[in-house]
Amino acid sequence: MGLRATKPPALAANSNNQSSDSEGKKSGLVTLPIGKILFNEGDKAYSLYIIQKGQLRLFRPKGKGFVELTVLRAGEVIGEMAYFAEDPNDQKRSCSAQAITPTEVIEISFNAFTKTLSGLNPWFKTIFNTLAERLRKTNTRLKELESNSVSTIHGSNSGGQSEYKFFRNIDIIRLLSTFFLVLKAHGENKDNALEINRKTLKHYAIDIYNITDSKFEEFINLLKSQDLISFAADKDNLLNIFQFPRVDTLRSLFLFLNTQRNLADEKRVIISDKCEIILHKILNQLYEKKINTPMAIVELTSIFNEFKAKSMGIDATDLKQAVDSKFMSEPIVGNDGKLTSTIDYEFLKKNFLPICFMNAVNKVNDKKSKL
């Protein structure tokens, strides 16, 4: 399991009518919106849960950071480790759990679970207790490994607290290359797209290339936000078939980001959200005019007027990054009072999607840092 440290999520109590980790709570359905904390590390535990729908991320707060553990989804059990504590007074949560999609869990109180176990044959309870003891030992060992990993990040060799990003540049490059290679090797052509089963792709990404579960799932969400992936139902009517209509785009993104990684900071392409919006409008204008030349003149006044009408504070200074990145020339005001610029149309078309993707990655990192 991959261990990373970053700013801890907001550890809010569950507020689905009443706290789900409360003494005497009856078994039943608990609904969690995105970002909702099911329980926090160290909380007194009274229940275990079966995930009916959605996904939960498990993490452990560590000082100013936290350790990403894994992602659990429908059909999996969570919160059972507290039940297996040798001392009933030590039935506390060993990690925190947070919904990363709208989630529903079935809560089973420890009291109800104990009553169920009391009706089992003695030989089955012996097997059950043996498995529980192995789980306890495994959990203890995992805690030791997590602690060692975090100390490496925060230790004296690092010179203090190191900057953390959920997605580092190298993480995205690894994910893009892994997805591209696995799709080319195992994807099936269907309806102008390459299809692959979630289990196959996940096997290679996590088991072979050692990509963490949480990064795999967040990367899928990232691809979805950029319309680079869609989902279809499998034979069990679950959306486990991934469809990639533009597989070669993954390679293009990989090449762009890998090139950026090897450039000096001052030479890297940096485009703000506002500048990205302007470039999008420029591309739309040239597309509507059916321009097919490598270089083209674009009229900027109408674009700025459109933003002004929407009370969006955008002006010529927001184009500086586009000029510095060689997408366009310095804007000039003509005799008619209109603002125009010469656009490297081919260069912009080639790099606009990578820019959007790079900004989307930055937004994920910003969101993660504020959780």
The length of the chain, given as a count of residues? 371
What residues does each domain of the chain span?
Answer: 28-158, 169-265, 273-369
Secondary-structure class of domain 28-158 per CATH: mainly beta
Return mean pLDDT, the chain. Answer: 80
Q: Which pLDDT does position 242 carry in this prediction? A: 95
Alpha helices, H only, the chain? 110-118, 122-154, 169-186, 198-202, 213-225, 247-261, 273-288, 301-309, 320-324, 345-369
Secondary-structure class of domain 169-265 per CATH: mainly alpha
Q: Which pLDDT does position 371 carry in this prediction? A: 58
DSSP-derived 3-state class of residue 309: helix
d(C-alpha 179, C-alpha 287), whole Å: 31
Q: Which pLDDT does position 9 carry in this prediction? A: 40
Q: Which pLDDT does position 26 carry in this prediction? A: 61
Q: Give Cα 6 distance to the centre of its chain.
A: 14
pTM of the model: 0.60
Q: Give me the sign of the Cα torsion angle 283, 284, 285, 288.
A: positive
pLDDT digits (tens, 9 = 90+) for 167-224: 888 889 989 999 999 999 999 998 889 999 999 998 888 888 888 888 898 999 999 9
Spatial contact of 54 and 101, defined as CB atoms under 8 Å apart: yes
Percentage of residues in the chain having pLDDT higher than 90: 35
d(C-alpha 317, C-alpha 233), whole Å: 47
Per-residue pLDDT tens digits of the chain, which is 371 residues long: 333 333 334 433 343 433 345 454 567 899 999 889 999 888 888 898 999 988 898 887 766 566 777 788 888 888 877 777 666 677 888 788 999 889 999 999 888 888 887 777 777 767 767 776 676 666 555 555 544 444 334 443 444 444 567 888 888 998 999 999 999 999 999 888 999 999 999 888 888 888 888 889 899 999 999 999 999 998 888 889 999 999 999 999 999 998 888 888 788 888 998 899 999 999 999 999 999 899 999 998 888 888 888 887 777 678 889 999 999 999 898 888 888 999 999 999 999 999 999 999 999 888 877 65
* Burial 36-71, CB ≥16 within 10 A → b, else e: bbbbbbebebbbbbbbeebbbbbbbbbeebbbbbbb
